[in-house]
Chains A and B, each alone.
Chain A
Amino acid sequence: MTAAPPAHDNGEQNNQQQQQQYALVKRAEDEREDIFKRYELGLDPHNIVDSWENPTFEIYHITDKYGFMHDSRLPSSRDSQEVQRTKIELERDKKWVKMLNHWPPPHEKLHKRVYKGIPDRMRWPAWKQLLNVQQSMDNNVGVYARMLQMAKENATETRQIDADVNRQFRDNLAYRERYSVKQCSLFNVLNAYSIYNSELGYCQGMACVAGVLLLYMQEEEAFWALNTLITDRKYGMHGLFIEGFPKLTRFIEHHDRILSKIMRKLHKHFMKHNVDALLYAIKWFFVVFVERVPFSLSLRVWDIFLLDGDRVILAMAVTILYLHKDELLRLKDMDGIIEYLQVKLHKNFGYNDDDAIQALERVMKKLKDLKLDVPPPAKTNEFPTRPLGMFVEADREKKTGRRRDYTDTEKQVLTDVISRQEQNAIEVQSTVSYETSECATGDAYSMKTYQSMTSLATSPAISSYSLYSNGFVITGPEDSRSQSVNNLNYHWQQSQQQPYAYMQHISADRLSNQRHSYSSDSDSRNRLDLDKALEALQSQQLQLQHENHHQQQSKRILVENGVDKLTQENLTKAVNHTNEKNYDVAIVNDVDDDALSVENTRL
């Protein structure tokens, strides 16, 4: 038996307990009084009501699970699909917890699970693992704090960062309030990073990337995650954001290359309407589809991007265009196309996330089969050349934010962009004649036959749709016909103005085909030779059809014949090539028709 505690202690304890009891009772009384008082005040304006007490407090009804607020209320009850999804996600949570505890998992397992979507609750630890955050932090203890301190004294991008933080994700609860915790974190991370990677500084777009990271991470974690995305070769965003945007140029070129091979009709449609990939793809590439597709889908793309690196960006771009090809082809002006890609898809993607990701996976596989998944290698200017974290004092222009003249890099960008535009215009013109010939004759039979001869891997799923998607334009509707007549006139006019220079330019361009070839790309050459062969066939056909028609048109054909002779040689060559490498062409056609046939998954 233990000894009893000393008597005086016992008394003090009782006293304390009594006091506590008394305080509790007092509190309850005050509370009661207070509540009664409020009811007595009733609708009196002095009666202070917290905004959330009223049913007009809509935030809860319009905020989705990611914290984004919508224009109208979200459904209050969950449908069976949603319930099912929640159930699945709970199961996945458990698997992920286990997997994260035994990191790194076997690659295949990880791949499978990431493509299914990282459960939202697991994104914090999973993204940190994928981006090596913990390791970076361990290796750089104190660095972030130092960079932040240096930024306070030396950052030159603060005004721009401030302006962008003030408008980044303001429809998200985390960033809604000015100077909220997350807004401050975003501001700090970007300023600190502009010092840490002084070559890069800050570029618009980075706020969005860091903003997404901060939705899932703490401030310092987000800083190192951002650094991995920017400097790691797997993601290499440095080259996107750095002055002159070298990686943007490289990726856009590769994007064009892919389009010109597996979605030729859409590619031509875009060129015809002056929709340069630069117009829609900058944002896609710079912020990895955030604010261009629904947020939930962009997170799924981010999951995969973090796992597989920057090639995912190219594949997703193609996937989006593929999934919406029909609608895009129906839009007959630049206005509509850009609106569709910039606004409409963000609001409603038209496919659920799982279907979109499945399509992405198929596109990635197909691009790999076609050896188009990896763009040409990066140049050295896409990565930091100065050591990170080394303080470099900014020059005066930078400090004052005054405009300077173009640097050599920027001049180069300008030249590239403009020559690219001109190149497109030239291609459009040649495309116009190419398409016109079919539209005008209204006889696509020979084209179809030719195509079926070259396509060995005939897909069982060929639909009427597939005929339209192989790049050989087979049109019938009146509006395109009338357009094509205009095109014809236009073409003639152009040729009449400068017939020889024009044609020589085109043929020279076609022969060299700089935009579409890089050294290892044999498939490209075959494909283009085939083009020439077809074009020659078509212009012959066109000649027969039109010789007796308007004078204008026959004049044009005479000029076309000039091309004809030039390409005659190529025709023979191309046919030989085609016979040798038939399967290449078949694969290319096949991509459009079969492997990506996801139209059944349309919601």
Chain B
Amino acid sequence: MATAPRSGGSGSGAAQRPNGTSQNKSCQFKLVLLGESAVGKSSLVLRFVKGQFHEYQESTIGAAFLTQTICIEDTVVKFEIWDTAGQERYHSLAPMYYRGAQAAIVVYDIQNQDSFQRAKTWVKELHKQASPNIVIALAGNKADLSNIRVVEFDEAKQYAEENGLLFMETSAKTGMNVNDIFLAIAKKLPKNDNNPGTVIKPNGNESTQTTNNCCK
């Protein structure tokens, strides 16, 4: 019981929902954004969820929570997105958000070498502490500023390959690759029978059947 109480779970709710979505396969995934301060985590989420971009996105205190639903073929995928504060001081709160997450986007700023190093530390931490099956994507953000880049594309790509990460360079400002990276994650997340036992939502207000897969 309650071994992973706030996982968000990937329990399917499709069949039992009273809202008429019962025909669709649907899954829900918890996704967390990590990375150094001011690399554009909140902006990526804002672009993905609302299609907007704020030149001066306020700094995130604690964390922000948003959701977005996308469709892949006949599957409806709902992302529960945790956008975290980047400052090192808030690091100790981060596990609260990545605990039980099925996916993570680790963000760095292509103009900032330190932020890339910090991204690597996050990846290490996730490999060590997060769910073993977590899907991790590395996002080199601010790609619209690639003329003043410091982190080379190939360098990051190689690192991502060596560590089994999805990788894209993104720009929250122009929207480049923003939807794509979420889509790539959604595709990589297990949605079929070979996904072993799912975590049950502690509040149990959705499906109560222990399904072996998140989609029916």
Known contacts A167-B57, A429-B2, A482-B18, A203 near B89 by CB under 8 Å = yes
Chain B minimum-CB-distance residue to A494 = B1
A411-B95 Cα distance, complex, nearest whole Å: 11
Q: Are B61 and A283 in contact (CB under 8 A)?
A: yes
Task: Check if B59 sits within 8 Å of A483, measured CB to CB.
Answer: no
User: Are B2 and A425 within 8 A (Cβ)?
Assistant: yes
Chain B residues with CB under 8 A of A497: 1
Interface of chain A: mostly helix, strand, loop or mixed: helix
Q: How many residues of A contact B (CB 8 A)?
A: 69
CB within 8 A of B87: which of A204, A426, A487? A204
Stretch at the interface among B152-160, B163-171, B178-186, B197-205: B197-205
Residue among A207, A271, A483 with the highest chain B CB neighbour number at 10 A: A483
CB contacts (< 8 Å) of A278 on chain B: these are: 62, 93, 96
> Which one of B80, B87, B205 lies within 8 Å of A483 (CB-CB)?
B205
* Bitwise interface map of B from 89 to 101 toward A, beta carbon under 8 Å scored 1, else 0: 1111101100100
* Complex CA distance for A411 and B90, rounded to whole angstroms: 12
Tell whether, in the assembled complex, residue A425 and residue B205 are in contact, meaning their CB atoms are under 8 Å apart: no
Question: B132-140, B141-149, B206-214: which one contacts chain A?
Answer: B206-214
CA A531 to CA B200, docked complex, whole Å = 27
Q: Knowing A167-B56, A243-B89 touch, does A421 contact B61 (C-beta < 8 A)?
A: no
Partner of A425 from B6, B55, B90 at Cβ < 8 Å: B6
Interface residue A493 (Cβ < 8 Å from any Cβ of B): yes
For residue B150, CB closer than 8 A to chain A, the reply is no
Q: Please, how many angstroms separate the alpha-carbon atoms of A523 and B80 in the complex?
A: 38
Report yes or no: A410 in contact with B208, Cβ–Cβ below 8 A: no
Cα–Cα distance between A282 and B18 once the two chains are bound (Å): 35
Contact B204 A421 (CB under 8 A): no
Which of these, A164, A208, A273, contacts B203 with CB under 8 Å? A273
- A486: contacting residue among B16, B65, B118, CB under 8 A: B16
Which residues of chain B are within 8 angstroms of A426 by Cβ–Cβ distance? Answer: 2, 5
The distance from the CB of B141 to the nearest CB of chain A, in whole angstroms, is 14
30 A-B contacts, Cβ less than 8 Å apart?
Answer: A163-B38, A163-B59, A164-B38, A168-B59, A170-B55, A170-B56, A203-B87, A203-B89, A204-B59, A204-B61, A204-B90, A243-B89, A271-B203, A272-B205, A282-B63, A283-B61, A286-B61, A287-B61, A335-B80, A402-B117, A403-B118, A409-B92, A414-B95, A418-B95, A428-B203, A429-B2, A487-B203, A487-B204, A493-B210, A494-B200
Interface set of A (CB-CB < 8 Å, partner B):
160, 163-164, 166-168, 170-171, 203-205, 207-208, 241, 243-245, 271-274, 276, 278-279, 282-283, 286-287, 291, 334-335, 338-339, 342, 401-403, 406, 409-411, 413-414, 417-418, 421-422, 424-426, 428-429, 432, 478-479, 482-483, 486-487, 489-491, 493-494, 497-498, 501-502, 505
